[in-house]
Structures are given as C-alpha cells and as structure tokens.
C-alpha cells in the first residue's frame, strides 16, 4: 500500500494511473477504522481497479471542540487494517495540507438537508462535511466514491453536492455493517463501557421493531410513538430524535400515501456520554 501525505505526491502517483483510463474507487474516513470501513474498501476493490482510502479528522465538521479532541486516532492499527484488505493507496494529509487558507469561506446550498435532524443538532456540520469531501474529490478524482448507509443523512448531503456542482463521480451507498447483536459499527463505540454498549442495543432494536411492525400494517404515527416510548424507557438512553422520513428529502412522514414511497427511520441518542446515530430503510 502506497501512503501519501500531500496532494502533489498523491496526484503524481494517480496521474499515471488515470492516463490508462483506470477506474478509481475512493473511501473517505476519519480513521479509527472498523469492519464497516473495511466493507467499503472491499466493495471498491470489487468494482474499481485502484482503491484510495483517506484518513483525515476534519476539524470543520466538529461543532464541539471536545468531540474533536476525543476522536480516536489509532493510526498504526488503521494502516494494518487497510493492508489486510489490500487497499492500494492511503492519503493521510495534515490540517494545513487540506486548509492552507485558515480564512477559507465555504457555503453550499444543500436544500435544507443541512438544517434538519443531524444538521439541527450539529450546526455547520454538513457544510464542513461537503467542504472536505469536495477537497478530497478534487485531489483524488475518483470514478466511484463509497459511503456507508449508517451516516444516511451524510450520504444524501453528498449526493446533493455532487448533483449541484455537477461532479463526475458516482456515489455507492453500502449497507450498514452491524455486530452480531445488531449494534451498528461506529468509531465511537470504543468509547462505550461494557454496560453502555449493552444499553446501546436498544437503538437497533427500536429501528427493527418499527420495520417489522410497519410490515404488519401499523400506522406511522403509532410506530413512532412505540419506538420513542421504548427508547425513553430503555436504561442509559437519552434520545435526541426519532423520525420516519422520506429517504430522499428526509422530510418527516406521518401518513403513508397510497403509493408507498421510500422511507427511512432515523435516530440519534446519547449512551454512556457518547452520541450515536443509526437508521434502517423501511421501504426502499
């Protein structure tokens, strides 16, 4: 695996590959890699000829400095994991490399997607996400970029950016990878105590309960009430939001239309002092 820390060195390497019209797959990460990230790498290896992974803890998407400071950075372990799945290139830039202008201004019209749910609870988060992903797309020029469904709203935000800016990259959303007990894999899970991790299982249980009961004909309003009640009564869970939304706009849906539209159940909650998000597609 080749490792680069500057855009110039990365571009020099990738230019020779692009000259043969090879396809490039890209997986953007903030490190602290787990099986969910490796699933994205494997997908890229299957569908493209060269796979690039980036590790960059992007400061502009953190609205809480403490959260940025606490974000895990086990770089040696991350490199070993990437080598284990035969990742071709690792791009690991510094903050100065990605943001040479400390006063850089960025704002993209995201159609309100950056103002609801995660956007409402983390102001400026998705502007920071699109800012850095655009920089990474420019540096790597991928054919296909792979993102995990667990960050569903992020996927929708990046899709909006790609469409708005007319970027020549295809997005591939890969299904959430879960532990055998149902917990969605997250870099933040390492911060959970054993009791906190056990309590966190209520999140996926609530989501899959909604999916099962929707198939049995319960109304959306009733399903939401049951899920919220379940989570509020679960030990160690502080719920921020739970919603059933149209999967394309993330507009909350309270009544199923005659023609079913794609729906997703989304949630965010605090467990053991750690903020976790999860979602399940209800109708795809």
Residues contributing to the annotated binding site for (R)-pantoate: 61, 154
Residue stretches of the annotated binding site for beta-alanine? 61
Rounded Cα gap, residues 3 and 211, in angstroms:
42
Binding residue ranges? 30-37, 61, 148-151, 154, 177, 185-188
Q: Are 125 and 25 in contact (CB under 8 A)?
A: no
Sequence-separated (6 or more) residues with CB below 8 Å from residue 26: 44, 51, 52, 53, 54, 136, 137, 140, 142, 144, 145, 146, 169
- Catalytic-role residue among 37, 105, 107, 125: 37
DSSP string, 102-144: TT-------TTTTTSTHHHHSTTHHHHHHHHHHHHHHHH--SE
Q: Catalytic residue at 105?
A: no
Element holding 238 (H helix, E strand): strand 237-246
Q: Read out DSSP for 148-194?
A: EGGGHHHHHHHHHHHHHHT-S-EEEEEPPPB-TTSPBP-GGGGGS-H
Residue 24: strand, helix, or coil: strand
Q: What angle do CA 169, 171, 176 make, to 5 degrees?
A: 155
What CA–CA distance (Å, rounded) separates 193 from 2? Answer: 36
Active site residues: 37
């Amino acid at each position: 695996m080749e490792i680069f820390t500057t855009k110039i060195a990365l571009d020099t390497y990738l230019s020779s590959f692009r000259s043969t019209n090879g396809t490039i797959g890209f997986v953007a990460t903030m490190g602290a890699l787990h099986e969910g990230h490796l699933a994205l790498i494997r997908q890229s290896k299957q569908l493209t000829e060269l796979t690039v992974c980036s590790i960059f803890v992007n400061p502009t998407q953190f609205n809480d400095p403490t959260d940025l400071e606490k974000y895990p950075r086990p770089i040696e372990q991350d490199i070993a994991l990437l080598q284990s799945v035969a990742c071709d290139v690792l791009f690991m830039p510094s903050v100065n490399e990605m943001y040479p202008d400390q006063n850089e201004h960025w704002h993209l019209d995201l159609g309100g997607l950056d103002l609801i749910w995660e956007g409402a609870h983390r102001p400026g988060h998705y502007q920071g996400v699109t800012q850095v992903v655009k920089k990474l797309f420019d540096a790597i020029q991928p054919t296909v970029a792979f993102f995990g469904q667990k960050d569903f709203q992020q996927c929708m935000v990046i899709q909006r950016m790609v469409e708005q800016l007319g970027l020549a990259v295809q997005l591939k959303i890969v299904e959430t990878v879960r532990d055998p007990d149902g917990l969605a894999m997250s870099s933040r899970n390492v911060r959970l105590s054993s009791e906190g991790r056990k309590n966190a299982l209520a999140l996926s249980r609530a989501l899959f309960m909604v999916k099962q009961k929707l198939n049995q004909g319960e109304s959306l309003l009733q399903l939401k009430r049951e899920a919220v009640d379940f989570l509020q009564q679960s030990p160690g869970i502080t719920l921020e939001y739970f919603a059933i939304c149209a999967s394309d706009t993330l507009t909350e849906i309270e009544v199923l239309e005659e023609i079913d539209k794609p729906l997703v159940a989304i949630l965010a909650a605090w467990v053991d002092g750690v903020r976790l998000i999860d979602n399940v597609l209800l109708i795809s």
